[in-house]
Structure 1
């Protein structure tokens, strides 16, 4: 996973946390749900990038 991808995913996660918190404090259920969705998207991207990294590592071991 590239540094840019990690940064983007972390930024999306933090933005989601902020939205969720603001939504919770203001009673805005839509904003709260958007925040939770943003966090889930970021985590899903992290998992996808990790799977790609593992796949690449396995491929490298078998191609030697």
Structure 2
């Protein structure tokens, strides 16, 4: 039984493992935010702009698209 415990032991202190787990969670959150910002936000923004009923070529529409 003692050999089984040694095999399952992850080297490093509790603090090191906790820091690694937190880094993985933060990286996952950052990746999620980047995916939403790149793929979801532009579509939502343009839908919202369509609801504003700006005339194409108007100063406001040109400013927003720039």
TM-score using structure 2 length: 0.48
Structure with the bigger RCO (C-alpha within 8 Å, sep 6+) is 1
Structure with higher Rg: it is 2
Question: Which has a greater percent of helix?
Answer: 1
TM-score using structure 1 length: 0.49
